[in-house]
Amino acid sequence: MGSLKKRSINLAGHATSLALEPEFWAVLQHAASTDRVSIASLIQRIDAGRGERPLASACRVFALLRAQAASAGTV
């Protein structure tokens, strides 16, 4: 796994810095493309449903679940 890559995302009108490994960014980008939304829109959806979990953790869990679903052929 590579080092963290930071991106600035606008969530609810506020710029938020999100640092993830490039492998997670790749899965999130693929998910956004598959869902035909921007990466920012996808992360906004993840943010809305994350509860108390940190945003980076929620994004990693989302990416893992999405990769597992793709591997199983359910996406």
What digits encode the pLDDT tens for the residues 19-69?
999 999 999 999 999 999 999 999 999 999 999 999 999 999 999 999 999
**Is it the case that residue 1 has pLDDT exceeding 80?**
no
By residue range, what is the domain housing residue 14?
5-72
Look-up: residue for tokens 């509860």? 51
CA atoms of 15 and 31, how far apart (whole Å): 22
CA atoms of 62 and 43, how far apart (whole Å): 10
Answer whether 0.85 is exceeded by the pTM. Answer: yes
Q: Output the domain CATH number for residue 10.
A: 1.10.3990.20
The token duo for 50 is 């994350």
- Coil, strand or helix at 21: coil
Number of domains in the chain: 1
